[in-house]
Amino acid sequence: MKNPIRNFPELCKSAMDYRTDLPESYRNFNKIMIAGMGGSAISGNVIKDWLKPFSKIPIDVSKDFFLPNWIDDKTLLFFISFSGNTEETLKRFEQALDIEPKIVVITSGGKIGDYAKKMNIPTIEIPSEGMQPRDAFPFLFFPIVNCLDSLGSIGVDYTKIGEFLEENKDKCEEIAEHAAEKMVGTMPFIYGTSEAVCMRYKTQINENAKMHAKSETYPEINHNEVVGWQGKSVGISVLFLRGIGENESTTKTMNFLRDLINKRARVLEINAKGDNWLERAFYLIYIGDLISLFLAEKQGVERERAEYIEKIKSL
């Protein structure tokens, strides 16, 4: 199988086909919760960042052993588990059965897939061959969006993301290669306006390149993180993700911090491209995934295996 990171545009196109028919009763919801962990949860974070400016109902993401008390029968609740055996997600699934929200399961199989099928809970079974959970992001994202779209909750065209990324593939690889070269031997700080996109950069660098990284978002950076730069800073690279969700104020403060720290750290900027928020987010995510791949290759690191996660799961 092709490397799933390099094949990201094609995976996006393939993932568009994964959907399920939802009962008519599922149209009667007044809030959305997306429950997952790690690579299976990032899809929820991106959806929340994307839809929150214009959604008329609350959207939240759960990454815990327990669901919040406000979950009820009017909640559209997505359980996302690539393996189907994620401990925290199984615990919340059991809890949800007593509450009877409108559940949709997205998984490649495992225990949660078996339980959902036995209970006739709408389930979207996704492929798993040749992929780590973090590689399957398109298959954990677009099925949720397809469900929301079938319920009338999207209202914008999202179906051309794969084609858009394919058209920009060479440019994305070029940008990522240059950034990775500058970031080798440093601890990357990721700054931007989308918590989900910044988090994706951090976690991909953690898992693929086996490096520490941190992510912070605007405008919150202006109230705490910026003060840290008054002290000594050694061995840091700072990657500013631009052109997504910026307004006049954040543009001004991002430029200020960029110029302020330019001599204290290796500063890079990546400018988003696209006609709408989602295209720009996926453009940045694709570049970030490639950066993590190139960092792994440049440092002679085995990208696929996350040994310490495996050890924690075996406890």
DSSP sequence for 174-222: HHHHHHHHHHTTSEEEEEES-HHHHHHHHHHHHHHH----EEEETTGGG
| Separation CA 309–CA 306 (nearest Å) | 6
Non-local (6+) Cβ contacts of 229 within 8 A are 257, 260, 261, 264
| Separation CA 165–CA 38 (nearest Å) | 24
- Residue 117 is predicted with a pLDDT of 95
Which region holds residue 270: left if phi is over 0, alpha if psi is between -120 and 50, else beta? beta
Asked if the model's pLDDT at residue 2 lies above 80, the reply is no
Which structure tokens are listed for 141? 């994202």
- Residue 1 is predicted with a pLDDT of 56
Q: Do residues 266 and 238 make contact, with C-beta atoms less than 8 angstroms apart?
A: yes
Tell me the average pLDDT across 271-296: 98
Strand, helix or coil at 122?
Answer: coil
Residue 198 pLDDT class (50, 70, 90 cuts): very high
| Separation CA 142–CA 314 (nearest Å) | 30
Non-local (6+) Cβ contacts of 52 within 8 A are 59
Q: Which residues pair with 148 in a beta bridge?
A: none
Domain ranges of the chain: 17-150, 161-298
Q: Which residues pair with 235 in a beta bridge?
A: none
- Cβ atoms within 10 Å, residue 274: 18
In this predicted model, what pLDDT tens digit does every residue of 21-57 receive, in sequence order? 999 999 999 999 999 999 999 999 999 999 999 899 9
Q: Do residues 39 and 82 make contact, with C-beta atoms less than 8 angstroms apart?
A: yes
**CATH code for the part of the protein at 17-150:** 3.40.50.10490
The average confidence (pLDDT) of the chain is 96
| CATH of region 161-298, choose from 3.30.470.20, 3.40.50.10490, 3.50.50.100, 3.10.129.10 | 3.40.50.10490
Q: 76-86 burial, b for 16+ CB within 10 Å, e for fewer?
A: bbbbbbbbbbb
| Separation CA 140–CA 82 (nearest Å) | 8
Q: Do residues 139 and 127 make contact, with C-beta atoms less than 8 angstroms apart?
A: yes
| Separation CA 111–CA 118 (nearest Å) | 11
- The pTM score is 0.96
Among the listed residues 241, 191, 261, the one whose alpha carbon sits nearest the alpha carbon of residue 220: 191
CA angle 270, 211, 312 (to 5 degrees): 130
Strand, helix or coil at 34?
Answer: strand
Amino acid identity, position 313: K
In this predicted model, what pLDDT tens digit does every residue of 140-177 receive, in sequence order? 999 999 999 999 988 889 999 999 999 999 999 999 99
